[in-house]
Structure 1
């Protein structure tokens, strides 16, 4: 007889949803989480703090209102870290309470400590005092997540040289910042600190950033970040960082030297599998600390599952939640439909961007013909009202069937608006739906109708020339 039916290691988005799903299926469930980390990295140091910080930056700088009230408009002149932290800590506290409430309401036991395997069905949980407790479980779900990858050659000190987790612990807003790595996390933080007035330089070894996104959207983002005085150094690598009393100097392999108050490394994330003694359970991890799974999120040991960031791409809170739910259903022998192919990507830069479906480059490589329908926020009454003249929504459409192949949005509310396109694509819909639909006025959602009409007119014009 096992102590519990399902043991979940980690309480982030994937672990929490796995635990609750198993509890709903009348299983005895326990979650193991480190002290002061309920809700995982997502709530405590990652997604929630960074998105809350972004909202605080947008509000306090008055950035979104400058189109209307002028470039000098600000809600607060001297923005301090405590201004930003107040809102962030408030939201983190509330989210932890919500997570704890949901777990306890569903009769999920919470055990505080760090977990490691003793054998395939046994986990030793070491509590904060150092005492180890053994817990046996019929099924185990690994949802232990990741930590920022730290190059061994870099001397992190948590103030001058930091990783993305260290952002929320900064004592002041730096006058200058160097961001190493132009991935999603690096660009999100670069845009936030540029909006706060920091002089930001981004160094990226590749020739472009966010390669999985639509090139036109990325170019629009780059233009706006340059307008916020961000400097980009593409095709460059940092050879070394020298710390000084008043900041740091980064030396690039090309010989360039860049001075900054703060250097933030955004070098991807590393799975924490090495902390779990996986070999005792008959498992192994790859060089990035990730665990391999099948389509049901089972590891090579059938009763052990892994979900969330620890299994690698796409490593999003949104997809992780669904992975956790599906793994729990499979572990409990409950049928469930698999992960949908269509998943939206949201990037919380300033301005934000979001997309679903194919990009122009992907369709071109696959030799799939497409037409483009474009709507610009400045053409919409709502865009003028909110002071967003730069936003845009782009539809990629199959000319023959008018089926929607991709939706790409840049500007205010992009991460919300994308779900309208997701719903239509999920139902294999065509742009006829947008052409015929009546949208509230004035809204940003009207952009779908404008873009659909733009694409339809191009398709009609092409058909007339063929006749």
Structure 2
């Protein structure tokens, strides 16, 4: 029976980095993966969706010049699958290079120290990391059939060219799918049960993205649910709670995720789950003696970069470094044509936590790069503690905003002040200038912006 110092169940962004970090420190490590290395992000979510959005942007540019493009979705999908393959190959190369064994098959815990891998056999371990991620979740009646109703996995096998699409769910995934199909020329209806899309993001970011989606033709149905679906010979009719009926080629369901813990045998190790089924971990990401959990399976936020950060921390901990995982700033990014970045607290959240919080807000008409990109209706906001000047939150809706999310996270994580941000030289022209300008407004000395309350 093979024996490893560290066994990782799950080869996604919450798993394989832990194996790499441990292997770098001399541990004999292995990763068990039932499907594809890279997990949900590389194969079904972040990477293929962003790749399709990139290709859709190119296709939209061609269409805007009056040219026709056949098989638009197929072209975008084929590109996305190639990108996913390249990312997956890169992960395989890294694991092989560091001597991490990859065991293919579904894992089930037999006893403390022993995991059975279907089609392989039993494996012994000293320490275990559970990084099995999440699966798509959907309300009753909206289960995917892979033909007319899809989730983020089945849509990657769709071989049609939809001209009319209903997207259910106004969170980041749903908003990105709505953007994707609209850019490819389809009529898109986005249905959200709450009163606005991106309901858990800053309200100004939500409004800016909603304005962008409407500008490319997406029809937003907020405070609305799906009454029922009627599958037809050549499509599907969606009956909304408002009474409206929409005939579409396909429905894409993006209503949430559920932890992938069923059938693992976690009870054998004394691992506890919360009320939603996520693994409960301590500040070291420990779930039980010699057992750790990282990534989506350890609870929200369900983000690949959060999973990666946790996996690295776990890799250090199993190697004996005992490091806590307690970040202050985890960027949330929505990758529509007008990208939305939220880092740290909103104004209301900061005040609820007892800060003397204030907010400085600018429209991006004063940012040359936003004007160049035709997105001057975007917004930048800084939430800060008026007593200390410390930055508590940075929020931005702009073309390419994801590229400054790291700077925003650094500012919040390290307690940078608005004075320091205002003094920092940013390149011109760039979207990053919005951060400096918002900071100038916060300290009362904006130069290139006419503030309502002039100093």
Same fold? TM cut 0.5? yes
Deviations 1:362-401 (A, max 9, x none): 2354564444333443323323334433333222233343
Closer, same or farther in 2 for the Cα pair 1:281/1:335, shift >3 Å? Answer: closer
Q: Which whole-Å CA distance do the structure 1 matches of 2:52 and 2:362 have between them? A: 29
> In the aligned structure 2, how far is the partner of 1:346 from the partner of 1:55?
16
Residue in structure 1 matching 2:228, options 233, 236, 240? 240
Question: Which residue pairs with 1:172 in the alignment?
Answer: 160
More displaced, 200-209 or 141-150?
A: 200-209
1:345 equivalent in alignment to 2:332 = yes
> In structure 2, do the counterparts of structure 1 residues 188 and 272 end up closer, same or farther at CA, with 3 Å as the change threshold?
same
Do the aligned partners of residues 60 and 242 (structure 1) sit closer, same or farther apart at CA in structure 2, a change above 3 Å counting? Answer: same
Distance 1:462 1:208 in 2: 27
State how far apart, in whole Å, the 2-side matches of 1:74 and 1:454 are: 43
Q: Does 1:332 align with 2:351?
A: no
CA distance in structure 2 between the partners assigned to 1:246 and 1:289 by the alignment:
38
Displacement of 1:284 in angstroms is 5.2
Residue 8 of structure 1 corresponds to 8
User: Which range moves more in the overlay, 386-395 or 169-178?
Assistant: 386-395
**Cα distance in 2 for residues equivalent to 1:155 and 1:442:** 47
1:90 aligns with 82
Q: Which residue of 2 aligns with 1:18?
A: 18
Structure-2 separation of matches of 1:442 and 1:459 = 17
Secondary structure of residue in 1 paired with 2:436? helix
After TM superposition, give the deviation of residue 30 of structure 1 in Å: 0.7
Alignment of 1:182 with 2:165, yes or no, is no
Q: Secondary structure at the match of 2:144?
A: coil
Match of 1:399 in 2: 386
**Structure 1 counterpart of 2:291:** 304
Distance 2:306 2:66 in 1: 37
**2:22 paired with 1:34:** no
**8 A Cα contact 1:60 1:75, kept in partner:** no
* Residue 218 to residue 123, structure 1, CA distance change in 2 (3 Å): same
* Matches of 2:414 and 2:276, distance apart in 1: 37
From 76, 88, 102, the equivalent of 1:110 is: 102
Please tell me whether residue 383 in structure 1 is matched to residue 382 in structure 2.
Answer: no
Which residue of 2 is the match for residue 416 of structure 1?
A: 403
> 2: distance between equivalents of 1:30 and 1:52?
30
Equivalents in 2 of 1:234, 1:384: separation in Å? 29
Aligned twin of 2:116: 124
Q: CA RMSD in A?
A: 2.6
| TM-score, L = length of structure 1 | 0.89
Change (3 A) 1:150 1:357: closer
Tell me, yes or no, if the aligned pair for 2:236 and 2:247 is still in contact at 8 Å: yes
Distance 1:145 1:366, change over 3 A: closer
Q: Distance in 2 between matches of 1:459 and 1:375?
A: 10
Task: Decide whether aligned partners of structure 1 residues 73 and 399 sit closer, same or farther in structure 2, where only a CA change above 3 A counts.
Answer: farther
Instruction: Give the equivalent residue in structure 1 for 2:44.
Output: 45
Q: What is the distance in 1 between the residues matched to 2:415 and 2:405? A: 15
Distance 1:314 1:402, change over 3 A: same
Q: Secondary structure at the match of 1:443?
A: coil
TM-score between both structures, scaled by the size of structure 2: 0.91
- Paired with 2:229 and 2:19, the residues of 1 have a C-alpha distance of 43
Secondary structure of the residue aligned to 2:309 is helix
CA contact (8 A) 2:142 2:253 kept: no
Partner of 1:59: 58
Task: Tell me, in whole angstroms, the C-alpha distance in 2 between the residues paired with 1:97 and 1:122.
Answer: 29
C-alpha offsets along residues 86-132 of structure 1, whole Å, 9 cap, x if unaligned?
321221111111100111111100111111111121111113xxxx4
Conservation of the 8 A alpha-carbon contact between 1:375 and 1:448 = no
State which drifts further: 209-218 or 318-327.
209-218
Q: Is 1:276 matched up with 2:284? A: no
Per-residue Cα deviation, 1:135-188 (whole angstroms, up to 9, x for no partner): 010111111111101444345321211112222222133111111221221111
Instruction: Give the C-alpha shift of residue 287 in structure 1.
Output: 6.1
Asked if 1 retains the 8 angstrom alpha-carbon contact of 2:197 and 2:210, the reply is no
Rate the CA distance shift 1:417–1:76 in 2: closer, same or farther, 3 A. Answer: farther
Runs of 4+ off more than 6 Å: 458-465
Mean Cα displacement is larger for which, 377-386 or 290-299?
A: 377-386
Give me the whole-angstrom Cα distance separating, in 2, the residues matched to 1:284 and 1:250: 40
1:222 corresponds in structure 2 to 210
Deviates more, 1:3-12 or 1:442-451: 442-451
Number of matched residues? 452
- Deviation of the 1:79 alpha carbon: 5.2
Give the Å deviation of 1:78.
4.1
Aligned in 2, Cα 1:149/1:462: closer, same or farther, shift over 3 Å? Answer: closer
* Structure 1 residues 380 and 459: alpha-carbon distance in aligned structure 2, compared to 1, 3 A threshold: closer
- How much has 1:75 moved relative to structure 2? 7.4
